[in-house]
Amino acid sequence: MGAALLAPFDGTVELVKVNSIVNTVGKMGKSPATLVVFVRTDGAHVVYAHLGSMKVKVGDIVHAGDAINTIGNNGQAKSPHTHVGARKVRTPLQIQFDLKARRN
Q: Which residues of the chain have pLDDT under 70?
A: 1, 99-104
Nearest-angstrom CA–CA distance, 77 and 24: 9
H-state helical runs in the chain: none
Residue 1 has a pLDDT of 60
Spatial contact of 37 and 44, defined as CB atoms under 8 Å apart: no
Residue 72 has a pLDDT of 93
Residue 102 has a pLDDT of 61
Residue 96 has a pLDDT of 80
